[in-house]
Amino acid sequence: MNRVINHPDLVVEDMLKGIVAAHPELQATPDNPRVIKRSCAPVAGKVGIVTGGGSGHEPAFLGYVGENLVDAVAVGEIFSSPTAKSFFDAMKAADGGQGVACLYGNYAGDNMNVKMAIKMAERAGMTVRTVVANDDVPSAPKGDEAKRRGVAGEILMWKTAGACAALGGSLDEVIAVAQKTIDRTRSIGIGLSSCVIPAAGKANFHIEDGKMEVGIGHHGEPGTNVADTVSAEQMAKIMVGTVLPDLPFGRGDRVAVLISGLGATPLMEQYILYSGVEKALSEAGVTVAVPLVGNFFTSLEMMGVTLSVLQLDEELEKLITHPCASIGFNRK
Amino acid sequence: MNRVINHPDLVVEDMLKGIVAAHPELQATPDNPRVIKRSCAPVAGKVGIVTGGGSGHEPAFLGYVGENLVDAVAVGEIFSSPTAKSFFDAMKAADGGQGVACLYGNYAGDNMNVKMAIKMAERAGMTVRTVVANDDVPSAPKGDEAKRRGVAGEILMWKTAGACAALGGSLDEVIAVAQKTIDRTRSIGIGLSSCVIPAAGKANFHIEDGKMEVGIGHHGEPGTNVADTVSAEQMAKIMVGTVLPDLPFGRGDRVAVLISGLGATPLMEQYILYSGVEKALSEAGVTVAVPLVGNFFTSLEMMGVTLSVLQLDEELEKLITHPCASIGFNRK
């Protein structure tokens, strides 16, 4: 695998050097280079928004630090949780005196480290509350939602909660918006090829030519089944057919749709999939009010796509269409 | 190669369906689905900006149709020029009565079809002038610049000319800005893997593991040499060492730097390269005033990167930092 790196063990350090060099609106915190914050954070009087996760998903997570979005992010090694210390330092960097909402994904490492970080934050006199994203339908059966992973639906949660905080929402209000967003979001991924972690040097799983892994996770976690590849329109039907009944979404719903490439899938194909998704939703009586298509949440150079659908209400539609600016998400 | 498509021969049609469904601010023209225009185009009293090129480079070219950017784009098959008719229809769609600037890349097919389109436009009483991008240094030696290909530097030309037109510039002024931009831009690409055109079903060239193609074109055109892969920092030195002496750039210059991934190269690696590029420029006394990093101009799922450097003056710096909004380029 030919890569643009200096040393496999230094990819995160070297990426962060590039990020802060290219983006004066972002900074590493002085005492912890694994925390990236808005240069203006903490914003006094505003609820702080924090997230964090493994690297290799760019623009997630650090690409959502920005205006009306996330204030500070804890940065982990590739596909690995940030440390408790980094989560804690991110909380400090985001704390403008009105409390901090830590909005992250449901993975064992992140759960453990956020829990420890909150203890550190409490000892420091801070108020931190959390919402744990679990939008990935195929990762556990209905009724067992607490076991589901968080995937690209996290972005929708950061978006609405970030807007709520920017508009002066209290910690209670921000947490309620984040929880409502993730409660009303359902996601699914389809993997078409593997990826190689630089330090490992080879893929830790394999998808054959002509096969697709339905329900794959962002780190190559196995899906519900391996099937023969189908057309984009059929993929759209499978994906929409998985997420709609799970909530369930219903006729007359207005939704936000987020399609993300997993890394190597061309933008062309993401739009081909969107066309099929919109058709399948329309046939189910569901209207796409907010379409989002692009590399929002990737897995290095994996091929494949994810679909996240958020059931909007008046409040969420207002928040999701609020202006924002960051590496990964811009809206006028 | 596992793909998200319906039929290899219909990828462009199907992509365009998805694009217009997801972006109400964009439309296909009523009589030619291969022309995408701003829904508000033509804008009366504004010079129209047109471009066009083959598909498979997304977000180029259609992702630069937007506010303060391009008004209409002619869309070709994958890696193939749009027809003369599509270029002409794009010119009509962009013509707000002050003339049209057609700003495209130096490829035989595009040159021929734009030439024919201009004849059609003249017969229709329109005023169209062109600037042909030739920013790719490795594609022809110095002194033979007219033979060089246009690559990602085109984006910088669309950006400055689009801003100039939006600010009320005349056709003469817009053309002068576009020409100055491309005259002061130099680019180079490094290829790390090939890509597969869906209708062909297999790669039409090959890059071995451990090798890189220095000076590769956006369609896999051979570079100046195939070398052993090196570190990102060494790649940055090779790229900066190629573009700087060619203009030449000098100590004290302020520049815009555009690093684009070719498709499958993770954003992480693009920022690692940026860090090296900024260092190499800094050592040469060149200051990056405007850094741009991301998948701006791709080649399906090719791995690799391109670097474009634009020598700014006061006018160009003002225009390149002017706000804009589109699929591929957003600036507040």
Tell me what pLDDT residue B72 has: 98
Give the residue among B165, B136, B159 at the shortest CA–CA distance from B328.
B159
Is pLDDT of A204 > 90? no
User: Taking a C-beta distance cutoff of 8 angstroms, is the pair A327, A66 a contact?
Assistant: yes
pLDDT tens digits for B141-158? 999 999 999 999 999 999
CA angle B274–B278–B284, rounded 5-degree value: 145
Tell me what the pLDDT averaged over chain A comes to: 97
Q: Which residue of B has its CA nearest to A272?
A: B15
Active site residue B218: no
At A105 the pLDDT is 98
What band does A269 get if pLDDT is binned at 50, 70 and 90? very high
Q: What residue type is assigned to position B80 of the chain?
A: S
Give every CB contact of residue A322 below 8 A, 6+ residues apart in sequence: A68, A163, A166, A167, A331
In this prediction, residues A145-174 reach a mean pLDDT of: 98
Task: For residues A315 and A80, give the distance between their C-alpha atoms in angstroms, rounded to a whole number.
Answer: 34
Six token digits for residue A122: 């409490």
pLDDT tens digits, one per residue of A90-145: 999 999 999 999 999 999 999 999 999 999 999 999 999 999 999 999 999 999 99
Residue B307 to chain A, least CA–CA distance (Å): 13
Domains of chain A (ranges, CATH numbers): 8-183 (3.40.50.10440), 185-313 (3.30.1180.20)
Indicate the length of chain B as a whole number.
332
According to the model, what pLDDT value does residue B204 have?
81
Q: What whole-number distance in Å separates Cα of residue A262 and Cα of residue A298?
A: 4
Strands A32-38 vs A26-29: parallel, antiparallel or unpaired: antiparallel
Looking at CA atoms only, how far is residue A97 from chain B in angstroms?
Answer: 28
How many beta-carbon pairs below 8 A join chains A and B? 186
- At B220-239, the pLDDT tens digits run 999 899 999 999 999 999 99
Beta strand ranges found along A215-286 (DSSP E): 225-228, 254-261
* Residue whose token pair is 């090719």: B302
Q: Is it the case that residue A1 has pLDDT exceeding 90?
A: no
Contact A56 B268 (CB under 8 A): yes
Phi (first) and psi of residue B33, to 5 degrees: -65, -10
Nearest CB to B272 within list A18, A63, A272: A18
Q: Mean pLDDT over residues A21-44, rounded? A: 97
Q: How confident is the model at residue A166 (pLDDT cuts 50, 70, 90)?
A: very high
The closest CB to that of B4, out of A19, A207, A273, belongs to: A273
* Best CA proximity match to A305, nearest among B97, B4, B64: B4
Q: For residue B105, name the pLDDT band (cuts at 50, 70, 90).
A: very high
Contacts of A7 in chain B (CB under 8 A): 231
Max CA pair span of chain B: 55
pLDDT of res. B244: 98
User: d(Cα B272, Cα A143) in Å, to the nearest integer?
Assistant: 43
Cα B234 from Cα B219, distance rounded (Å) = 24
Q: Over the range B100-138, which residues count as b (16 or more CB within 10 Å of their CB) and which as e?
A: bbbbbbbbebbeebbeebbebbeeeebbbbbbbbbbbbb
pLDDT value, residue B320: 98
- Strand locations in A192-264 (E): 211-214, 225-228, 254-261
Residues A17 and B279 sit within 8 Å (Cβ to Cβ): no
Q: What is the pLDDT of residue B1?
A: 82
CB contact under 8 A, B2 and A207: yes
Residue numbers in A near B303 (CB within 8 A): 2, 301
Q: How far apart are CA B264 and CA B303, in angstroms?
A: 5
pLDDT above 90: residue B12: yes
The whole-angstrom separation of Cα A297 and Cα A155 is: 8
Token digits of residue B42? 């033509």
> How far, in Å, CA of B329 to CA of A45, rounded?
32
The mean pLDDT value for B67-86 works out to 98
Query: Mind listing the pLDDT tens digit for each residue in A41-50?
Result: 999 999 999 9
User: Who among A15, A274, A325 is closest to B332 (CB)?
Assistant: A325
User: Residue B324: what pLDDT?
Assistant: 98
Q: Is residue B219 annotated as part of the catalytic site, yes or no?
A: yes
Contacts of A14 in chain B (CB under 8 A): 232, 271-272, 275
